Each structure stands twice: as structure tokens, then as C-alpha cells.
Amino acid sequence: MVNTTERPSEASSAHPRCGNALLALLDRITGRTLLVTLLAGSLALFLVLIPAPRGDGLLIGSDGIGYFIHVRSVVIDHDLDFANEGEHYRDVFKLPDHEPGSRTPNKYASVGMLLLWLPFYLAAHGVAWTLHALGAGVVPDGYNYLYQAAVCIGSIVYGGLGILFAYRVARRFFAERPSAWAIAVLWLASPFFYYMVFEPSMSHMNSFFSVSALLALWFLRLRDVEVPRWLDFAALGAIGAIMMSVRMQDALFLLIPCAWFGGRVASLLRRGDRRAASRWARGALLAALVAVAVFSLQLYTWYSIYGTYTESPYQHDNGPSNAFSWSDPQLANVLFSSFHGLFSWHPVLLLATAGIAMLWRRDRWFATALLCAFAAQVYLVASWWAWSAGAAFGGRMFLNCGLPWIVGLASLFAWTWERPKWLPALATVSFLLIGWNALSLTQYRLGFVSAEAPLTWQQMTVDRVAVPLKIIERLQGMK
């Protein structure tokens, strides 16, 4: 296992100067510049799209409406009754049927999304009241574009913070430039870009952020310290609870710090250091207690809506007995089918997963943990009745694996940086993957393919290449 407290020096992994224009360009752009450009570019593109909202006249959409009305109901109405919000969005969003006299259920009532969006929503509410008081004609009703834009911007910011956390973990192993360029390629060649720019009201950027925050906090502040701080344990518990309540499937990532804590305590006991073992055990207990306290808000929400503490969104639609098929997971379909298959839609994610295995030579425990966490996500999603995720641009339910993929692709890029003759090939493959994703995104966004049905292999190959011609034909037909 490597000593992760020492960052690799830039000189130790940087390629030799060979006069190649590509290599010179890669050297010239710093990692910080590249990452800031990613965040600023995503935010700017979203802001440009505000004057031209979705076809339904909203900036939020799909599942994002469900998350949004939860925040509005709590902030504006101070309750968990979504009847009026459901009526407001009845033409574009349907809440489930319910018994007369009972509360209107909302499976997207996520406390994690509420807590993360709350500062942005409250800021929008303050601006709306100020403009209203100044006679600008803005109604502070909790629905208008100010509020919608605020939560979307919040998700974009959290996506940027998730990138930063993952980058800091990658930098413990790899140099600045391969780490940053790996992030840029992964972002532009995968569904991350789509859900950060075009669908930020959905939960995926907040999911990516909370998982990355949890793993980075454990890895950077707890894993290699001799005397841990109580504050770090408490923070780990809090972010773990928020992570679970954003998307329950993310709870599987808690197994990584839990397994490590167990191993650390056992190791200290074998060495006879009972005092240190006790401190780590008490710290882990503190983290668990904080997690339970914060997650109790989600339990209360479920109880208020469903009348039980154990009714999760994964069970509600298809019933508890039909929600998961543990003995018949659709593993091949989840990974390789044309129906939002993870690797078939975004091949860069296959390279990133293979890159995690390359981390083995630097840190066996961490590489194994990341691969096991990814495998657990695959098995969970493949066992769920809605494994294809409905309307989705690729395997959207796996965006919580952003940090493992970033570390994995950084491993591959770092290996190439040490072998400069392979760098032009890596750059070529990277540009092809980014271009392919751009064609796929255009094909999907402009409705040339169905969002909720399997694609044919012709649609995923020949028709995708022909997307520019189809756009020209559509424009000519509008004249």
C-alpha cells in the first residue's frame, strides 16, 4: 500500500519534452484552469439555456419536479401536503393516486435534496420578495423561474464540488495534469455532462457530490491519521445520512469507511493498543449516531406521507414484494444492452472501470473497495424492477460512481503520461469518445430516438453518425 499522505510530484510523472505540439499544449494548461473551465462552462451553458426552457415551459423537469415541490411545500407552505403543488403541475407531472382524505404521496420527498437545495431556494425567495417589494411584478410564490433556476444552479455547483473532491483524492496518487485531463474527458464523454447541464433538477449531481464528499472526507481526513478528530467523525455521519436520503442506493458506499473502521480497530487490538482502538470505535459510534439523527428527518418524512417509517421510493411503485429480484439480476442488460446500457451507451466508463483495477499496484485496499462498491451498485440496479431507469441518457443511476471512475481514468491517464509515445493515441481515443457522446446527446435531446425504449443497434451506430444530416433536414423542413 502506498503512503497516501505524500502527493506524487509533477516531475516524477510528467512526460519528457519532445517538441510535440499536443504534449506542449497539455503541459501548458494547468489542472486548476481545466477544472474551473468545466464548472464555469457548465454553468454558463445552463444560463444560456434559461431563455429557451424545456418544451413544457419549465427549467425543471421529470423527477426534478418531484424534488422541487418537496422543497416548495416545506419552505412556502410549511407542510408535507403536496396536493396544491400537484395541482399546479398537473399537466406535466402526476403524483400517485391516494385514498380520499389521505396525504398526496410524493416518492421524491428527499430530505437530502431538500437540505442541499435549501440555501439556493431561500436565496431565490429573498430575491423574489425584494423584486416584488420594488414593484417588479415578480410573485414570490415558490414556483417561478427564479426558484427553478436557483435549485438547478445549486446542483451544478454541487457537481463542481464533487469534481473537486474526486480530484483531490486522485491527486493523492497521480500528478496534476493526468488527473485533471481524465476528469475533463470523463465529464464530456459520459452522462455527467448531460445531467449537469440539461437536467440539473434531477438528483444525480447531488448524489455524485454527496458520495464524493463522503469518500473524500474518509480518505483525506481519517484514513491515514494517527489521532482522528471527533469533528471529522461527526461530519462523516452527517454527510452519510444526507447521501442516503438523496438516493437510498448510495448507502452502499458507506460499506467502504465501515469496513475500514472495522479493520483499523481490529488491527489496533491485535497490536495491544486498546486506547487507540477505543478512540476509533467511539468515533465510529459517534458517526453512526449523527447519521441516525440526521436520517431520522427522512424517516419522519416517509412516515408523514405513507404512515410507515419503512416505505422507501424503491418499494412504492411496484410494491415491496416485487421491487427487487435478487436471484435474477439483469446484469448483462444493465451493462451492455441498447436500453440505457452503462458501457454500450458510454464506452469511456468501461475504460474508467478498468482504470480502477490499474490502481491495484498503488493501493490494493482502495482499488478493491472501489471495485466492490461499483459491483454492488451494478447488482442492486440490475435486481431492481426498473433497472433501465425509464427516460434516461445512458445509465443515469450510476452517476454516484463518479469518484471511483475519476480515480480510475486518472490511473489510466497517469500510466500514459509516463509513456509519452502512447499519449497521441490516448488523445485520439478521448476526442472520439467525446465526439461520440456529443452525437448521442444530440440524437437523444432532439428526439431522434426514444428516451424510454430500447434503441436498435442501427440507431446507436449508423443513425447516430447521420445526426448532423438529420438536423440539416429538420432545419430545411422548417423553412
Beta bridge partners of 384: 324
Question: Does residue 321 surpass a pLDDT of 90?
Answer: no
The answer as to whether 85 is a domain residue is yes
The answer as to whether 478 is a domain residue is no
Q: What percent of the chain has pLDDT over 70?
A: 89
Q: What is the pLDDT of residues 342-365, one digit of tens each?
A: 999 999 999 999 999 999 999 999
The answer as to whether 324 is a domain residue is no
Q: Give the C-alpha separation, 7 to 229, whole Å.
A: 22
What SS3 class is residue 135?
A: coil
pLDDT score, position 98: 62
DSSP 248-310: GGGGGGGHHHHHHHHHHHHHHHHTT-HHHHHHHHHHHHHHHHHHHHHHHHHHHHHHHHHSSSS
Q: Give the C-alpha separation, 35 to 197, whole Å.
A: 15
CA-wise closest residue to 464 among 349, 354, 347, 386: 347
The answer as to whether 479 is a domain residue is no
Q: Domain range holding 31?
A: 10-312+329-445
Q: Show the 3-state SS of 401-442.
A: HHHHHHHHHHHHHHHHHCCHHHHHHHHHHHHHHHHHHHHHHH
Q: Give the C-alpha separation, 72 to 122, whole Å.
A: 10
C-alpha cell, 338:
441498447
The answer as to whether 369 is a domain residue is yes
The answer as to whether 264 is a domain residue is yes
Q: Tell me, what amino acid is at 111?
A: V
The answer as to whether 31 is a domain residue is yes
Q: Give the C-alpha separation, 387 to 339, whole Å.
A: 10
The answer as to whether 473 is a domain residue is no
Q: Give the C-alpha separation, 387 to 401, whole Å.
A: 16
| pTM for the whole structure | 0.92
Q: What is the pLDDT of residues 128-184, one digit of tens each?
A: 999 999 988 899 999 999 999 999 999 999 999 999 999 999 999 999 999 999 999
Domain tally for the chain? 1
